[in-house]
Structure 1
């Protein structure tokens, strides 16, 4: 018996060992629901020599399956019944993610606001016990995505506890123990209703993908397009059944040469998965370039506003990305990370900066979601570790457990909680509502509300705003609410300053 939206695994014994079978398409499996709907997924080679298939049935009822292979020992068929999922999370109740014109949604159409956290380096470093503590903490706050590098993160704290292709970086021979450990991390996130968002190929595996770093794995072990396609197919077959979302690239500056490698990885992922939302993770300050935007496998946009107190980036990148054609959902997948250097060793990025960048991003048009990050967690730092690749650039690191308690993560959880009270999928940026154009002040309208964020909570004048029933100020750092005093001047509305220190969110409720 299977459960809807829970992976089921089948294990097959091949006729021979299929030496170097990592890249071979040994097996595909077709699953047909009693309604006639069919899905096809790829098999993958497991470390013990078996070939395995993972599939998460999206519907209740009777399913039949059949495998296809040139190896007669891998050709089998069968049936099973899928029941309602007994895990009480939105992911298991409403299903895996799809992208429409401006919104990420569950399979049943329920809007999904991406509240992610950044744990790029957990794949090579986190123990199961550490990972459980981390996930439980984030799930309790309401986080529903975790962004992790499927391979080794080049600027992680060291030493790595495990490596995807072994110490000799044999790119055609994945290390079985590494991917079995990654199996566990992905499954633990899925079990808690947290979507795994895995990076397939950070820039350091693709020659020429980012010229600003001089230490990259690609210098020694460049990945070809054929290897990237093989890796994509392998990752998709192994992790697609967990509802994984794929960041095909990481911090990559696309050109025609590197795009060939990333396209191959994306096609491998797409061919192997049942539910494969795909995006690219851009370097700081950049929007999706035209050559990547033209790719038919791209489902949504993820920009990185970068690690600075300057709030013009989160706004301008959201605005620019929303102008791309065709329209796709937009989210800020890397705002300023808490406790990182602000491009200056004498100043760290604080909680208020992180919070402001989040609200500015969302109201400027990145309403599909937001990802928090903290120095200490993304590099998975422990006491006594070295942070050689990043300390000069980003600062001396807290441990991941210390960083887990940084308060900025609570602010992003509060942001999601506030937006969940409205039709956030209907959000449209409306900068023209503001009489003055100021950095750190953003306005947006929703089907049931008007929202204005002001980084210093000052008096606002709104130009001919839509009719609302009443205005209130919300403290984004505490959630406290106070009625706002308003004065109408013709078509304009003047609103009193926020009645608390710091930033404020003006809410007009309909």
Structure 2
């Protein structure tokens, strides 16, 4: 009975309505539904979702992320971890004879199941047709390279047609820059193939290598609907706002998103320390289940939930229309006693409820309460010195001046230039990004410069200051 039900679910297709179809807003700054409702991208990097998980496991993963407030799941069809030669959980490879022109129906039935399950939970799948190691690049491993202009177009058309009636967003690339004109043309051919297959129903972007943006190569391409940058895993307090500032100024205006910031629980600059040629070293660092037991091997430490929040709020208040979370165990769907790409602290199931993932619901809560679609980045709100380091404060205002949002990564005092907020009577309140609660309400009369002091301060004690024009009658949270 269970297997019959599974087969029925695989073959049932959950079609998305015209209202669910996404488009770019008129001002080119955010994504919205066809009925004009702003779409808040709260994503997760589940790169190996199609490749590694069974249907039961995938359902558990998706149900958890839906509960946590995620709206987008980023997953790869032809996966990074040798996805062309290592089969999925059911023993199926995606391509017959490594040919993009011969997709394996059984493999794609499994992809169908996951896409349908996500749709039933109100989640969009941001689908990468392939990881970029299957396209020529300066980092081809593990590959193999199988794409050229012709079969990239046909594979794109196949995918576009198969998922044209489902809530999908296309992401080309996969952690690679574009090395030459031929590679550029391959990605363009795949993009045009996707558009031909789905009739232009779905949005398209490109996921580049670390510390770069799709805008560098593709901004003026008509098929690129919004930009994606990867701020990467190089250090704490990555100045993600620099990528945002550059993409904000580009013409024509296109929305942008940090599609791969520092993952929770990943070692800082892991690639510098990933030398496993000595078995004794590996045995010292990892336990019998393949988990990291000696954290000191990575002297720069691991990214935490605090890093996740810092990068998330810095991105949003710099004009981004969304943010993608990631966890080191989850992206690779690491299972104990199995192979890994980057050593993990937990398996993927334990990692699902790590603090950074749970914090995403509070991020969503704030930017639905004070709509992100109305925000314009404005650093002149901050009065006085504002170094671009761990203390950097980020600020944005509503276009009509009805509210300000200011993020303090270490809390403490902040002086605010009040001239740009509308109205004379102001309500100020502190939002705790660690639990989603309002901590203190202050009612004041507007002055030119006013100082506010957060309820707490120090590393890991970050706060969001919200200032409202009382005449705007905006909703506030109960303390």
Please tell me the TM-score bracket, short chain as reference: 0.7 to 0.9
- Matched with 1:507 is 466
Q: CA deviation at 1:125?
A: 1.2
Secondary structure, aligned partner of 2:224: coil
Counterparts of 1:378-397 in structure 2, within 5 Å, are 378-387=331-340, 390-391=341-342, 395-397=343-345
Q: Which secondary structure does the structure 2 equivalent of 1:311 belong to?
A: coil
Quote how far apart the aligned CAs of 1:494 are.
1.3
What is the deviation of 1:379? Answer: 0.3
The answer to whether the 8 A contact 1:487-1:493 is kept is: no
Q: Name the residue aligned to 1:108.
A: 35
Pairing 1:336–2:262 present: yes
Query: TM-score if structure 2 supplies the norm length?
Result: 0.81
Match of 1:236 in 2: 160
* Cα shift readout 1:55-113 (whole Å, capped 9, x = no counterpart): 94746xxxxxxxxxxxxxxxxxxxxxxxxxxxxxxxxxx42211121111011111110
CA drift of 1:506 comes to 0.6
Residue 377 (str. 1) matches residue 330 (str. 2): yes
- Kept in 1, the 8 Å contact 2:51–2:87? The answer is no
Correspondent of 1:399 among 331, 347, 361: 347
| Residues 131 and 175, structure 2, Cα contact 8 Å, conserved in 1 | yes
The offset of 1:289, in angstroms, is 3.9
Deviation at 1:144, TM superposition (A): 1.2
Look up the match of 2:285.
none
For residues 156 and 44 of structure 2, the distance between their equivalents in structure 1, rounded to whole angstroms, comes to: 23
1:33-52 map, 5 Å: none
Contact 1:465 1:493 in 2 (8 A): no
Structure with the larger helix share: 2
How many residue pairs get aligned? The number is 414
1:263 equivalenced with 2:188 (yes/no): yes
Equivalent residue number for residue 131 of structure 1: 58
| Unmatched 5+ stretches in structure 1 | 1-51, 60-93
Q: Which residue does 2:357 correspond to in 1?
A: 409
For 2:88 and 2:302, the matched residues in 1 are separated by 26
- Say whether the 8 Å CA contact 1:486–1:493 is kept in structure 2: no
| 1:473 partnered with 2:430 | yes
Number of the residue aligned with 1:87? none
Alpha-carbon offset, residue 126 of structure 1: 1.1
Give the drift of 1:138.
Answer: 1.0
The Cα shift of 1:508 comes to 0.5
The answer for the alignment partner of 2:80 in structure 1 is 153
**Aligned counterpart, 1:205:** 134
Per-residue deviation, 1:53:
13
2:44–2:324 Cα contact (<8 Å) kept: yes
Which structure 2 residue ranges, 5 or more long, are not aligned?
Answer: 1-10, 271-297, 470-479
1:268 aligned counterpart, secondary structure: helix
Contact 1:443 1:451 (C-alpha < 8 Å) held by counterparts: yes
Question: Structure 1 residue 396: deviation in Å?
Answer: 3.1
Partner residue, 2:454? 497
Q: Is the 8 A contact 2:130 2:173 kept in 1?
A: yes
Is 1:436 the counterpart of 2:364? The answer is no
Do the aligned partners of residues 308 and 355 (structure 1) sit closer, same or farther apart at CA in structure 2, a change above 3 Å counting? farther
Q: Give the Å deviation of 1:316.
A: 0.4
* Cα contact 1:158–1:386 (8 A) shared by 2: no
- Report the alpha carbon displacement of residue 163 of structure 1 after superposing the two structures with TM: 2.5
Which whole-Å CA distance do the structure 1 matches of 2:236 and 2:335 have between them? 30
Give 4+ residue runs of structure 1 displaced > 4 Å after superposition: 52-59, 155-160, 484-490
Counterpart in 2 of 1:180?
109
